[in-house]
Amino acid sequence: MKSNLIYGLQSVKEALLAGTPIDKIYIRQGNRFLLDVIKELIASTPIVLQEVPVAKLDSLCPGRNHQGIIAQIALVNFLSYEDLVPALFDRGKIPLLVGVEGVTDVRNIGAIARTAEAMGADALLVPTKGSASLGPDAVKTSSGALLHLPICRVTRWGTAFRYLKQSGLMIIGCTEKAEISITDLDLTVPLCLLMGGESTGIPQAVLKICDAQAKIKMYGKIQSLNVSVAFGMVIYEAQRQRNK
């Protein structure tokens, strides 16, 4: 059993009431009582709630009386983008944010975080659902970058993008289906770069609300890249332009 897990209803409730940073809560499928109790406690938080088969809970806490509920303590500190962005402008920075949508491979999340931190990104935006967990494996893969890079939870991209645009940020969806090369865009402005999942890319509904779509110009026979590799190329171009 991993050391960052809390199990049992009372233990999880006390952790939530005490303000313990929680990343995700697993609840046994079909337990309406547990679902209602926890939903009320986390109503105003970005904590992810997931219903799973009892076999999943048993595998997380083998031999323990988990009572159908397990909470995963967050190893990273989550910030609100509504608080972060104004603070960046107040410090005289030109924000450079990174968003990931549908990136479910923990190694890719870790690699993206490591590159983002090394290349001076101001924050990583991660959806509350449909993304790899930012647990011990992700922290290890990121070489500890997830402990230094501000992380913001996003419940809905539409809401987040609306706020970022109103704050003066440009949203660029990075996709191989775009017609414009990333090198043809001005990346010196306040910016959020959005990367898509390994197999699905950025959903069309999310691409539609981006300000622009851009691709990496390819010269070989292979026309796609691993998302973490592609991200490294994109953010390098952004910093190259900003540091001319």
Per-residue pLDDT of the chain (244 residues; tens, 9 = 90+): 667 899 999 999 999 988 888 888 999 999 999 899 999 988 877 788 889 999 999 999 998 999 999 998 888 878 899 999 999 999 999 999 999 999 999 999 999 999 999 999 999 999 988 888 787 788 889 999 998 999 998 989 999 999 999 999 999 999 998 999 999 999 999 999 999 987 788 999 999 999 999 999 989 988 788 999 999 999 999 999 999 8
Question: Which residue intervals of 91-226 are DSSP H helices?
Answer: 106-118, 136-141, 157-166, 204-207
From the number of C-beta atoms within 10 Å of its C-beta (0-12, 13-18, 19+), residue 38 rates as buried
Q: Are residues 127 and 216 in the same domain?
A: yes
Q: What CATH number did the domain enclosing 100 receive?
A: 3.40.1280.10
The percent of residues in the chain predicted with pLDDT above 70, rounded, is 99
Q: How many domains are there within the chain?
A: 2
End position of a domain, from candidates 20, 50, 73: 73
- pTM score: 0.82
Q: Are residues 91 and 171 in the same domain?
A: yes
Domain that holds residue 225: 78-242
Q: Are residues 109 and 45 in the same domain?
A: no
| Rg, C-alpha atoms of the chain | 19
- Quick: pLDDT tens for 83-142: 999 999 999 999 999 999 999 999 999 999 999 999 999 999 999 888 887 877 888 899
Q: Are residues 131 and 12 in the same domain?
A: no
Q: What CATH number did the domain enclosing 15 receive?
A: 3.30.1330.30
- Beta-strand pair 69-73/5-7: antiparallel
Which helix (H) or strand (E) covers residue 24, if one does? strand 22-28
CA 25 to CA 34: how far, in whole Å? Answer: 11
End position of a domain, from candidates 19, 53, 73: 73
Cβ atoms 216, 225 nearer than 8 A: yes
Q: Are residues 129 and 204 in the same domain?
A: yes
Q: Are residues 118 and 190 in the same domain?
A: yes
Q: Are residues 113 and 212 in the same domain?
A: yes
pLDDT of residue 1: 62
End position of a domain, from candidates 29, 52, 73: 73
Q: Which residues pair with 164 in a beta bridge?
A: none
CA 238 to CA 217: how far, in whole Å? Answer: 15
Q: Are residues 59 and 97 in the same domain?
A: no
Q: Are residues 110 and 82 in the same domain?
A: yes
Q: Are residues 179 and 220 in the same domain?
A: yes
Q: Are residues 118 and 192 in the same domain?
A: yes
Q: Tell me if residue 124 falls in helix, strand or coil.
A: strand
Q: Are residues 140 and 57 in the same domain?
A: no
